[in-house]
Amino acid sequence: MKILITISLLILSITLVYAQKTDKNIYTESISYTVKGQNLVGYLAYDKSISAKRPGVLVVHEWQGLNDYAKDRAMKLAKEGYVAFALDMYGDGKEIPITEARAKSSEVGTDFPLIKERFYAALAILKKVEYVDSDKIAAIGYCFGGGVVLNMARLGTDIDGVVGFHSSINTGLTAKKGDIKTKILAIQGDTDPAAPLEKQNAFMKEMKECEADFTSIIYGNLPAHNFTNPNGKTYYKDEANMAWASMLVFFDTLFK
């Protein structure tokens, strides 16, 4: 199935670092793990009041690293009934300065074996959480992280679905027929300076030619890249809320 919607408007060791209650029944853990000598720190969130197993969702951060926004997304997913793990692509669970973000995101984001190792390490952690139904897994990402989840789809990651929010959509990988085993939801603004329409059209052409099961949502008259983060300078509340709601509908179709 190929859908286009246009809308106007691995070696790892695990150590528990700390655990704390955050919001009523939402419980979080900061988890340290090691991949090929690099210390990574992710952030797990789930609702302790739910005893049944439930789908798990990986969250891949923006280009500044594992920041409060990625952790907030994990907690928000927990409130929706998922187990979420905000992974660390850079190391030590740190947020880096904006002045270093472009170089770091380019370095890591184009090292496809590296992102695959770190993604799969986080996936293994998520699947081992006692509340997770390991047969129901998705991943979401923002900006740099959106590019990561789209590339993990291109690399043949066999999970149920990925969602990219204002993603880096053209990063040097091109999927061929049979490569993509997961469903894809890509959400962009039509005048995203980091992903102009010619790049978005190239992405959709790639998805069609490789016969991916994908949905593309493009918000019209949206002259911003990172429109979902309320802490950013280009936040668009209505589109951000619609994007989140679209993700939840997408998950309903994946996990029904």
Q: Which residue has the tokens 């990986």?
A: 58
Question: How far is residue 201 CA from its own chain's centroid?
Answer: 21
pLDDT attached to residue 12 = 41
- State the burial class of residue 143 (Cβ atoms within 10 Å of its Cβ: 0-12, 13-18, 19+): buried
Q: What is the 3-state secondary structure (H, E, C) of 177-217?
A: CCCCCCEEEEEEECCCCCCCHHHHHHHHHHHHHCCCCEEEE
Q: What is the mean pLDDT of each run of 10 residues along the chain (256 residues)?
A: 41 39 82 97 97 97 96 98 98 95 94 97 98 98 96 97 92 91 96 88 94 95 91 92 98 96
Torsion angle of the four alpha carbons 178, 135, 12, 157, in this order, in degrees rounded to the nearest 10: 10
* Furthest-apart CA atoms within the chain: distance in Å: 47
Per-residue pLDDT, 100: 96
pLDDT on residue 5: 44
Complete edge-to-edge strand list for the sheet that includes strand 132-142: 2-7, 214-219, 183-189, 161-165, 132-142, 54-60, 83-86, 38-47, 26-35, 14-23
Contact between 59 and 70 under an 8 Å Cβ cutoff? The reply is yes
Summarize the chain as % helix, strand, coil (round to 5). 35, 30, 35
Residue-level pLDDT at 24: 81
First to last CA, the chain: 18
Element (H, E) at 95: none
pTM: 0.91
Return the pLDDT at 6: 42
Helix (H, G, I), strand (E, B) or coil at 107: helix
| 2-255 homologous superfamily | Alpha/Beta hydrolase fold, catalytic domain (3.40.50.1820)
> What is the distance between the alpha carbons of residues 179 and 83, in angstroms, rounded to a whole number?
27
- At residue 10, the pLDDT reads 41
Provide the residue ranges of all domains of the chain, joining segments of one domain with +: 2-255
pLDDT of 9 reads 36
